[in-house]
Structure 1
Amino acid sequence: MMRGRAPRLMGVLTSLMIGGCANAPLEQGGTLSSYSDLAPSNGALTRAALRANKEQVLAARTVRIVPTQFTPAALATPFTPKQRAIVTNAVDRALCAGLSERFEVVAADAPADLTVRASVTHVTRTDATMVGVSKGLGIAKSVFLPDFIAPTPRLPIGLGSLSMEAGAYGPSGHQIVAMTWARGASALVGASRVAEEGDAYVLAAEFGADFSKLVSTGDTPFGKLPDMPSQEKIQMALKGTPKYPACAVFGRAPGFADLVGDGLGLPPDWTDKGAAPPS
């Protein structure tokens, strides 16, 4: 009797959570050289505006990454310096991994065809307690309803969000690529971590992947079928070893530990050691 009702109950809960997605403002943080001619280009869960000079992008061969910063407005969210650091480093590591697919990534103080700068413009905290409850419900379902294989939706309460902007600049400092980007955590899609910075950390990697695709191709990363990751990228993700030494400053990717952390909802700093210590 209980098992007959369970699928109907889960169906009702899922329907209630379809709209469960945090709002993220698409803001201008004042760190780009220009916001003119930014064209809206949204994804299924992402709001964005962007512009790219495709000819100049495709002519570039080297890129350097300036470490991501929080704008003064984003600093209003009461994250600790450690929480902010793990979010910004997740952005930089994702940018380095994505850009390595097409460019040679050089050190931040080396000359390059393109210089990438990104900033956090707005961030909201994750309700870690609600994430923990959601994870507990998922465990309970696996114990009491082992035959029901549908994923357990996350409770749509206390979802975090992240807003970013970034530009890619030529050697003379002129802006070649620009993007403003905003995405909220979803009750149905994506990993969740039991930490105030949990959603921002997960979304940071999403932004890094989107912006690196824009810089690599000169085209919007949205509205397209996802690319199959190369074997090299898969090995980098699993082993944590970056392709270029310049990426090592952002530390090793958590690799397999990250998959475990996502599944269990562990706080980011349990599996991610962050940036490499100064040499």
Structure 2
Amino acid sequence: MPLKEGGTLTSYGNLGAPKGKLSKSRIYVEGQRLAAVKTVRIVPTAFTFSAASRIRSEADRSLVTNALDRALCVALSDKYQMVSAGQPADMTIRSVVTDIVPTNKAMAGVATAVSVGSGFVLPVSVPRLPVGLGGLAVEAEAVDSGGAQRAAMVWARGANSIQNNPRVSEVGDAYSLASTFGNDFSRMLIIGKEPKGLNLSLPSKQRMQSWLGGKPKYPACGAFGRAPGLLGAVAAKYGAPPEWTDKKPKPAATY
């Protein structure tokens, strides 16, 4: 999955050279400026026109953007106070999906049948068939209250046979990869520098609670719904579309 600029960042001039194997990225982060940040808000993720045209269903696109924003909000809650999009904050996060490769639903169904079926006759199930896999490309930035860019990332990753379960949905892989991006970008902001290697630290109590579908640490994260939890993990193993278990946010009350 190649990196793709969408023209939505304040600047691309500070980004470093492309790096990474599974996830490719170009990164900029100003750690000293981030050290004083206390409050953060997330502008809901959008699609570029060209990326949106690859996924016909608006509901499917919303699944991807919501999963990305939810992952960002929950992960950033470890360090920052998260506030709603309409409130003032020390830092604002803006993300845009710049490209997406749809998952081939037919091949995802076949891959699920092969993987699950092999589990009944072999000690372990065989890896996913490497056909019809999806991908996702995103660019995001963190700007301060004055609008100055303090961190940015152009990122892309394709699904693989080992780490991504096949799901019978055009956005089955993009939905999973959206959370991966959210965690990657959040990690960079939290440590204030380019991450090195795998993150082997144990998840915080609030992240585990959120992953299990519990109430998020900050009400602002409730705008992105709750994670599917264990039910979602089981559904993913058997190829169910993400919309079957994704817990969408409740509509705001109107009076």
Q: TM-score band (shorter)?
A: over 0.9
1:73 matched to which residue of 2? 50
- How many Å apart are 1:93 and its aligned residue? 0.3
The Cα shift of 1:192 comes to: 2.7
Provide the residue aligned with 2:39 in structure 1: 62
Match in the other structure for 2:195: 221
The equivalent residue for 2:97 is 120
The answer for unaligned runs of 5 or more in structure 1 is 1-23
How many angstroms apart in 2 are the aligned matches of 1:239 and 1:178?
29
Instruction: Decide which structure has the larger Cα Rg and report it.
Output: 1
- CA 1:97–1:225 in structure 2 vs 1: closer, same or farther (change >3 Å)? closer
> Which stretch of the first structure deviates more once superposed, 260-269 or 102-111?
260-269
- 1:243 alignment partner, SS class: coil
**What residue is the counterpart of 2:227 in the other structure?**
253
Match of 2:176 in 1: 202
Question: 1:257, CA displacement in angstroms?
Answer: 1.5
What amino acid maps onto 1:27 in structure 2? K
Whether the 8 Å CA contact 2:164–2:173 is kept in 1: the answer is: no
**1:85 aligned to 2:55?**
no
Q: Is the 8 A contact 1:241 1:253 kept in 2?
A: no
- Cα distance, 1:227 vs. partner? 2.1
- CA shift for structure 1 position 202: 0.4
Runs of at least 5 residues in structure 2 that lack an aligned partner in the other structure: none
Q: How does 1:106-145 map to 2 (within 5 A)?
A: 106-145=83-122
State the distance in 1 between where 2:203 and 2:22 align. Answer: 21
Give distance in 2, aligned partners of 1:202 and 1:92. Answer: 12
**In 2, Cα distance between equivalents of 1:200 and 1:239:** 20
How far apart, in 1, do the equivalents of 2:247 and 2:232 lie? 11
Q: Give me the whole-angstrom Cα distance separating, in 2, the residues matched to 1:104 and 1:92.
A: 15
Change (3 A) 1:164 1:68: same
Aligned-partner SS, 2:209: helix
* Percent of pairs with identical residues: 44
Deviation at residue 275 of structure 1 after TM alignment:
3.2
- The structural deviation recorded for 1:222 is 4.4
Secondary structure at the counterpart of residue 39 of structure 1: coil
Q: In the alignment, is residue 98 of structure 1 matched against residue 110 of structure 2?
A: no
Residues 131, 215 of structure 1: alpha-carbon distance in 2 compared, 3 angstrom cutoff = same
Say what the alpha-carbon RMSD is for the aligned residues.
1.4
Q: Report the equivalent of 1:174.
A: 148
Letter in structure 1 aligned against 2:183? A
